[in-house]
Chains A and B, each alone.
Chain A
Amino acid sequence: MQKILTGNQSAAWGAMCARAQVVSAYPITPQTTIIEELADIVAKGLLDAQFIKVESEHSAMAGCIGAQAAGARTFTATSAQGLALMHEMLHWAALARLPVVMANVNRAMAPGWSIWTDQNDSLAQRDTGWLQYYCESNQEVLDTVIQGYKVAEIVNLPVMLVLDAFFLSHTYEAVDIPGQERTSEYLPPYKPSIYLDVDDPHAFGGIVPQDIYMEFRYKMQVAMNEALEAAEQADRDFKTMFGRGYGLIEPYRLEGADYVLATSGTVTSTARSVIDDLRDKGHSIGLLKMKLLRPFPVELVRGVLAGRKRVAVLDRDICVGMGGIWTQEIRNALYHLPEDQRPSVYGYIVGLGGRDVKPETIEKIALDVQKRPIEEGEQVWIGLKE
């Protein structure tokens, strides 16, 4: 079935197809229409789920954690300040090894108050133990919700999928909805091996002394390593079944390119057209779309970027005091390449607080990276006002 959906509605229909059993949520712009759509879907009987609108985002995630611990598949959605308020619970879901799936609509952090997009909210949650997927289209949002459950439930780690405020959350496109029946062939019902079961009681959340805490953390790392393989497999299987796959990263027109732009989110779509133009004009430049932040696909990134001259990373975020977060991640992944294979990595800060990243902005970066000396390429702010 095809429907014209916004990015937010696509997230809701993804949860519907995946048969989420408990939805626990709190409103925040620009996420709210996700949970509104789900409230409607549940109320109309299209999804057999319990929907609860709680009193804060902290409680929204706590509700998901409780329900998931009781053996239910759960879903929620949030944005910016709401995600930040959830921080304690994000750690909890991951360390409790509960495969919660959540959509986060990227929105800039306050103050000053902003409802527009940038990635600082989700990137700041990088170290909480969640898988993080960045989406470029509404179809990708819906598909990533479904794939997210698949991967999360294999490795017992929670999944956050991320979409840009307004550019995706509130714009419409035709989206294919696979429906519950076909989705369940891909994603079987959630059957946790351990859960709160009155017939087989367990105690969760106890004290873990010094002599075993580290091992719990190590097991999470092992699971994250496995998540990389699981995510690749889930995407391949999804493509076989539904005809759509995204990869963990996506090289675009990279054949023979000396220079590479690395992007994530909706900036990628704009960058594709810029790269097409520049290629036609004879520039040796291509594009790398980053989809998965955690686990970071180190080998894949290394494989694609080895032997290139320079990489320009577009960061719609800023780790104040160090630079762009994707820049740090990508540069780190390339460090162990042999020197003659290792490209220089340039960090470009763009589009914070929802400022437009136009084709001209991206073209400027694509030309700049080809001539800028590396010592001036650590952190380049684009379009900054005097």
Chain B
Amino acid sequence: MAVSYTKYLRMYHMPHMWCPGCGIGIIVKAIIRAFDALDWSTDDLAFVSGIGCTSRAPGYLDMNTLHTTHGRALSFATGIKFARPDKHVVVISGDGDATAIGGNHLIHACRRNIDITLVIVNNNIYGMTGGQYSPTTPVGARAATSPWGNIDIPFNVSELVKGAGATYVARGHVGSGVQLERLIRGGLTHKGFSVIEVLSNCHTQYGRRNRIPDAIDLIEHISKSTVSVRQAEKMSPEELKDKYAVGLLHQDTERTEYCDDYNKVIEHAQLER
């Protein structure tokens, strides 16, 4: 059955502020389809963001939404989850928001394994402020603050969060909305901290400066840089250079979840009394 997107959107906020062709639209649609497939009531959903183009998404979604400060969405979301562990808490964030100014909160949310789903829209640039290089801008790429090419080594976001302790790590891309919805749905139903990194296109700020100014061309460029997890397993490190494995990269269902652990402490403390 076709998904009624308008059911999940605040249509009075349309048209949205994203550039025509922006990958965030594909990602938000995938998130809506995942919600719809799970048949979750929007009343049971809290959707939280920080700052950046991506962070405008909660303004458009008709559920419990909180648009917070730059980099701190996970801190606010942790508070929400702790106050209402019975609700589903979803955070959407960009590469600058999640891995630069919010990098510390990111690794600690991973470490705690709190049951929050984080979608990171990785478009390799700060879009909203005008195209400054971010922690995921490739070496050599041009940005407003690196007009002669970036020299900073980028983060591999999925590896970073896996290393920090996230128990569900997946990577998708805007060239494959169907797979993306499946990966997001997997994150939403996973009990623990889930991260879905989405390789996305900012043709306006990144593409224009790096000779791929067209949205479709940039999405195709991103698609071509991906290989499936299964293919990647058979490839040598040389073959995998400049390639991104997409699919479910890591899942650990053994580790206990943070709110549950905390409730056990409460139970234990009350027994002692």
Contacts and interface: CB of A to CB of B under 8 A. Distances in A.
Contact of B145 (A27, A110, A113): A27
Interface stretch (B30-38, B65-73, B220-228): B65-73
Contacts of A276: none
Contacts of A113: 67
A126 B231 CA distance: 59
Most buried by A among B100, B145, B147: B145
B130 A36 contact: yes
Given A33-B130, A53-B133, A55-B103, A43 B71 contact: no
B183 to A, nearest CB: 27
A125 interface: no
Given A36-B144, A39-B145, A40-B147, A27 B130 contact: yes
Nearest to A57: B101
Nearest to A56: B101
How many chain A residues sit at the interface, stated as a range, is 20 to 34
A29 interface: yes
A113 B135 CA distance: 25
B72 to A, nearest CB: 10
B135 A36 contact: no
B123 interface: no
Interface string B101-139: 101000000000000000000000010111011010000
A29 to B, nearest CB: 5
Interface residues of B, number: 20
A32 B130 CA distance: 8
Contact of A32 (B71, B129, B147): B129
B213 to A, nearest CB: 19
B135 A81 contact: no
B148 interface: yes
A35 interface: yes
A111 B49 CA distance: 13
Given A26-B101, A110-B69, A113-B67, A53 B130 contact: no
Contacts of A36: 130, 132, 144-145
Contact of A28 (B103, B129, B144): B129
B146 interface: yes
Contacts of B132: 27, 32, 35-36, 53
Nearest to B69: A81
A29 B128 contact: yes
Contact of A43 (B103, B128, B135, B148): B148
Main secondary structure of the interface of B (DSSP, over half): loop
A43 B143 CA distance: 12
Interface string A19-53: 00000001111001101100110010000000101
B130 A81 contact: no
A82 B145 CA distance: 18
A50 to B, nearest CB: 12
Interface string B139-162: 000001111100000000000000
A27 B126 contact: yes
B135 A55 contact: yes
A39 B146 contact: yes
A110 B51 CA distance: 11
Interface string A54-85: 01110000000000000000000000011001
Interface string B87-104: 000000000000011010
A5 to B, nearest CB: 17
Most buried by A among B67, B126, B144, B148: B144
Most buried by A among B103, B132, B147: B132
Contacts of B129: 27-29, 32
Which 8 pairs between the two chains have the least Cβ-Cβ distance? A27-B129, A55-B100, A56-B101, A27-B132, A39-B145, A36-B144, A32-B129, A53-B145
Interface of A: 26-29, 32-33, 35-36, 39-40, 43, 51, 53, 55-57, 81-82, 85, 110-111, 113
Given A32-B130, A39-B144, A56-B70, 8 more contacts: A27-B126, A29-B130, A36-B144, A39-B145, A43-B147, A51-B145, A55-B100, A55-B135
7 contacts: A27-B132, A27-B145, A29-B129, A35-B145, A39-B145, A85-B70, A110-B69
Interface of B: 51, 67, 69-71, 100-101, 103, 126, 128-130, 132-133, 135, 144-148
